Amino acid sequence: MQKIALYRILGNDLPPRHAVGQTVTNLEFIFKNEPQFENVEKRWVVNRVISPKQEKAIIGMLELHNQPYIHIPFDREKYLKLSRRRRALLLPPSLWSKTKHLINLNDARNRAIEEGSKIADWVMPFDGNCCFTEDGMKRAQDVLSRADRGMYCIPIYRLLDNAAYFNFSSAGYVQHEPQVVISRHEKARFNETFSYGNESKVSFLRKQFRVNTAGYTNAAFILNDANFEAGYVLRLFSGVREGEADHRVRVRLRKQALQSIITQVEQGAGAIFE
């Protein structure tokens, strides 16, 4: 059986899109409940966590469980210099350009692919709150075992309660923006000019797969060719119910969250730096 490097990218809680503490809560859930899978090495990326308290909690938990991780630290001084330089050049930074420096998920995804390709046949550069069931991983491995290169989409289902993980059935759920698994032989990478909240993963999906996003306003993603689909994964509860049910609400809450975190970083105020 081919080896898989499963990376999950752990970043900032972004209220009101997320509940405060959801990253640590869901990480605890994963350690407690996700099975150990044959030929799957679990690894992590700690991605520009702004709060020293939260970063310490995340890293402490990973080290307690002897989990390998990549650490991409947040450098506030570098961010502020970058912001001032843009203003001096009369190029006011947009919400997305600031977010790119604060939460550059595609950089973290590419780091995971580069590192994972050294140790495994397939790399899963997943979002932090993704959690596999035994069935979801088995279905993914069944597909990957019949291929030696390429890329596949892993459908994702969003949970409104983590208790649903234990007896999960896809009945009543729609598939959301999928995760990606990529062969070590593939050269495709995520575009690092795209930031979180600005279709950072969608741009990759559109380019590499025939993904139909026409129904995305209803939170549904449809992969037109099922031959590029492998298993499924669950997205643990973000702690904000309304943000899971409707894509349009999710976009609105995400924008509010990004505006809030940018303000706190630039003012150096609030619990974010405790």
Listed by start position, the domains of the chain span: 4-273
C-alpha separations of 211 from 104, 148, 221, 229, 237 in Å = 23, 22, 7, 11, 25
Percent with pLDDT over 90 in the chain: 53
Q: Is the pLDDT assigned to residue 221 strictly greater than 60? A: no
Round the average pLDDT of the chain to a whole number and report it: 85
pLDDT of residue 91: 35
Q: For 226, phi and psi rounded to 5 degrees?
A: -65, -15
Answer left, alpha or beta for residue 115, where phi above 0 means left and psi between -120 and 50 means alpha: alpha
Classified by CATH at the fold level, domain 4-273 comes out as: Spore Coat Polysaccharide Biosynthesis Protein SpsA; Chain A (3.90.550)
Model confidence at 207, pLDDT cuts 50, 70, 90, reads confident
Q: What's the mean pLDDT in 229-240? A: 92
pLDDT higher than 50, residue 219: no
pTM: 0.88
Token pair recorded at residue 1: 């059986």
Q: How far apart, in whole angstroms, are the C-alpha atoms of residue 123 and residue 110?
A: 10
pLDDT for res 270: 52
Asked whether residue 257 carries a pLDDT value surpassing 80, the answer given is yes
- pLDDT over 60 (residue 51): yes
Beta pairing partners, 229: 153
Instruction: Indicate if the pLDDT at residue 223 is higher than 80.
Output: no
CA distance 97 to 249: 22
Say how many CA atoms lie within 13 Å of 168 toward its Cβ.
23
pLDDT number for residue 63: 98
- What type of residue is 206? R
